[in-house]
Amino acid sequence: MRLNAVFPNFQADTTQGPIDFYNWLGNSWAVVFSHPADFTPVCTTELGRIAVHVNEFKKRNVKLLSISCDKLQSHKDWVADIKSYCLDIPGEFPYPIIADEKRELAVKLDMLDEDQKDDTEAGLTVRALYIVGPDRKLKLSMVYPFSTGRNVDEILRVIDSLQLTAKKQVATPANWTPGDKVMILPSVKKEELSKLFPGGVDTVKMPSGIEYVRTTTDY
């Protein structure tokens, strides 16, 4: 899926009942992510750690939705194992898991790898993760192989970046975390700086003499 493409609507059965994706999304952001299979070690850590951080996602107006090709009852049974392994999950398991037994959604959302994309019987979803904005468009995607678990702190970091840059004419540099300096977009004219960033702007002198590295903490 290409960035800024409209994320398709779909209906699905989940551990929290049937959903229509657009209605479920509402005016929120969403992290839609797939895992290869229930009752597997890395997936248990991933869904568990994401559940542990559910309040951090809520602070950012982000809903969570997981997908795999397992049966609905398998998901429900597995949740008990996840909660047992990650004892710091608050309350009930906090987000729905889609049962995509026929792999129709996995194909629609391009969540199968090249070797298994045509295997409608046994193909497993890779560790795909999509961040969808309230405008129903794809804002960011991450795709990991079966062997590599995802980093929840990185997911939260990129959400912070996406939400900030949706409101301000800035970009976040490498290794940025909230509170660090951000980069002002090259499209912002020099005469606009004091109005847009009254807290101050630092311009970095470069050997080229071109003033394109401009930073600020005014956000």
Q: What is the pLDDT of residues 129-163, one digit of tens each?
A: 999 999 999 999 999 999 999 999 999 999 999 99
Q: Among residues 38, 43, 70, 100, which one is catalytic? A: 43
Give the homologous superfamily in CATH for domain 168-216: Antioxidant, Horf6; Chain A, domain2 (3.30.1020.10)
How confident is the model at residue 118, as a pLDDT? 67
Q: What is the pTM of this model?
A: 0.94
Per-residue model confidence as pLDDT tens digits over 104-137: 999 999 999 887 766 666 678 999 999 999 999 9
How confident is the model at residue 1, as a pLDDT? 82
Cα end-to-end distance, the chain, whole Å: 31
Residue 86 annotated to the active site: no
What are the residue ranges spanned by the domains of the chain? 11-150, 168-216
Dist. CA 88–CA 86, nearest whole Å: 6
Residue 69 annotated to the active site: no
pLDDT at 45 over 90: yes
pLDDT at 206 over 70: yes
Per-residue model confidence as pLDDT tens digits over 62-102: 999 999 999 999 999 999 999 999 989 978 999 999 999 99
Starting at the edge strand found earlier in the chain, the sheet holding 202-203 runs 170-171, 182-184, 214-216, 202-203
How confident is the model at residue 179, as a pLDDT? 96
- Name the region of 39 (left: φ>0; alpha: ψ -120 to 50; beta: rest): left
Give the homologous superfamily in CATH for domain 11-150: Glutaredoxin (3.40.30.10)
Per-residue model confidence as pLDDT tens digits over 18-30: 999 999 999 999 9
Q: What is the CA radius of gyration of the chain?
A: 20
Q: Among residues 119, 135, 153, 180, which one is catalytic? A: 135
- Residues of the chain above pLDDT 90, percent: 92
